[in-house]
Amino acid sequence: MNYAEPPTLRPRVAVTEVGTRDGFQSEAAFIPTADKAGVIDALIGAGVTHVEATSFVSPRAVPQLADAHEVLARVARRADAHLSALVPNPRGAERALGAGVDEMVSFVSASETHNQANLNAPIAVSLAGVAEVASIARGRTPLRGAIACAFGCPFEGEVPVDAALRVVDAYAALGIDRLTLGDTTGMATPPTVARLVQAIGGRFPQMRVALHFHNTRGIGLANVMVGLDLGVREFESSIGGLGGCTFAPGATGNVCTEDLVYLLERSGVPTGVDLDALIAVAQRVEAIVGRTLPGQVMKAGPRLRRYSIDGARRAVG
């Protein structure tokens, strides 16, 4: 793309909101079920039609998401809205199906150490669990395979491309053709993103790849642009920049949904999302969690937002 020229339209990109799962799960104070469902409804109303709404994890492990079934029951379901949920095991898969999810998401880490910290199991054991979930999902709902620490691990450091490909190979053998690469602690860089995305594309050209970046080191949106130029057409983000893996030291919030939508739309990439409505949702979430969130566009507003000159501060002297 010639950035010196006005933006021209590229193929539409799907923005998948993960804030009500990946973001809310890190909040210590329980968020009322009605608030969670209300945020999902507002996101869909703003044009975000892909939402990873919750997780059917053990309530003892993540009390914040103990109301997963109730949240989905409260959401005003629409034909144009795609609701997914994280399922860590076969029991979670059965619960998710009972709640009527449109897609289930299972994940395994590319790092053995992180997989032990996050799932309390070796990668091989976790992959066997995904195989059980796949057998439950088959013919009933799509299953997405996610890879945590795809670009680096806070315990092991660099994660080789081959380590991530090991998980991709296992997913492909199960018939999973939807893949999310997770940058769990914000360790991805433009070169590491390019290497892994290109390696997967070379091995599985038909696999649908989504990218999930954290902004831990401030380059989450730079990584988005790399993925976009490599043909990726789905990105996951969190309203207001909520989130951060509780099992990974140093993890901070996800790439912010409003900032992502602003970047894409101003780069000539349609998302179908109403930025002003999305900003209103971010402000609503900020009030729910009771603290200032890191999103920048929610504070500054759209690029051409105008202010009255009356009352503006003036230089004196």
**Residues recognised as catalytic:** 245
Which three-class secondary structure string do you get for the chain? CCCCCCCCCCCCCEEEECHHHHHHHHCCCCCCHHHHHHHHHHHHHCCCCEEEEEECCCCCCCHHHCCHHHHHHHCCCCCCCEEEEECCCHHHHHHHHHCCCCEEEEEEECCHHHHHHHHCCCHHHHHHHHHHHHHHHCCCCCEEEEEECCCCECCCECCCHHHHHHHHHHHHHCCCCEEEEECCCCCCCHHHHHHHHHHHHHHCCCCEEEEECECCCCCHHHHHHHHHHCCCCEEEEEHHHCCCCCCCCCCCCECEHHHHHHHHHHCCCCCCCCHHHHHHHHHHHHHHHCCCCCCCHHHHCCCCCCCCCCCCCCCCC
